[in-house]
Amino acid sequence: MKFLTSLFLLASLIYSVSAHSSMSYPLPRGHPLNPNAPVKDYNCITAPLNGGVTCAPKPFPCGGYPVDTQFGTVLNAGEIFEVKFYNPGAPNPVPSSNQGRHNGGLCEFALSYDAGQTWTKIATYHKTCPDVFFGWKVKIPENAPSCTKLGQCIFSWSWINAVGNRELYQNCADVKIIGKSTTPLPKIDITKANLPMFPNTITPEGDPANTGNAKGSGPLASDVEANLKPFSTTNTQSIPPPKKPKCVNGAFKCKNSKKSPIYTICKNGKNVTLKCPGTLVCDQKKKKCSYK
């Protein structure tokens, strides 16, 4: 008993190095609490796919964790259940606990019938997700067909954080799906960003009630309502695509006459007006300030 207690305390200490939350229901691949996981990641299961200070980058999809030895969760078409999150550093959290939730952001829940090659997004939560203090309702589509081949049937949680480094998190659970439909679900891809293989950078809105890591304001009522409607492509939309920049970063342009000290330079997709110092004037040919 002393050995098991010491082992648990050691695991908790190692696991708490990474302060972010992980999905705890359904239990994902590689999770230390998953009895069906052939490999248990005590240190980096909560880390983003980008990696971290003590965690190497993980491959998309699903972090590269091996398939469970058997199904741990059975989901029925039309079933409504609550996704739960768990923070290893605070197994009994209080509202002020550091969850590493980075002011929330964009959470998406999806199914895959082909081992993560394609996805059907079935629920979206904006701004306030994730948070260990709340359950996040998800509905399996009424027209979801059965999926009973271990390794092919995946329930995914992906998260793009609102505050901090631009990252992409994902946990994948091996689930059995029981349904009556014989028609495949439409492909509705999850938001892919903030990884070298997905060069687009996205910063979603965060929780207005909590700009840090403590307890937030919970699921938005509008999101819950949308996620529990009969399945369609209209209630699974995420944040809009980023706006096209107004200019090319670094673009230089003199204003007015050739001898004018005023010029513009493009920074972060927007033109910024500046003035050459002293007696220098704008030189369009050299694309810099120079003497008359």
Residues 178, 278, single domain; the answer is no
Indicate which CATH number applies to the domain containing 185.
Answer: 2.70.50.70
**Domains of the chain: total:** 2
Distance CA 145, CA 178 (A): 7
In this prediction, residue 138 carries a pLDDT of: 98
Contact assessment for residue 75 and residue 83, using Cβ atoms and an 8 Å cutoff: no
Q: Say if 77 falls within a structural domain.
A: yes
Quick one: pLDDT band at residue 257, thresholds 50, 70, 90? low
Residues 183, 284, single domain; the answer is no
Q: Say if 247 falls within a structural domain.
A: no
What does the block give as tokens for 252?
Answer: 């230089």
Quick one: pLDDT band at residue 66, thresholds 50, 70, 90? very high
Residues 81, 187, single domain; the answer is yes
Quick one: pLDDT band at residue 255, thresholds 50, 70, 90? confident
Domain limits for position 16: 1-242
Rounded to 5°, angle at Cα 217 from 213 and 221: 140
In this prediction, residue 13 carries a pLDDT of: 33
CA 106 to chain centre: 6
pTM assigned to the model: 0.75
pLDDT digits (tens, 9 = 90+) for 182-196: 999 999 999 999 999
Quick one: pLDDT band at residue 10, thresholds 50, 70, 90? very low
Burial of 190 (0-12, 13-18, 19+ CB in 10 A): buried
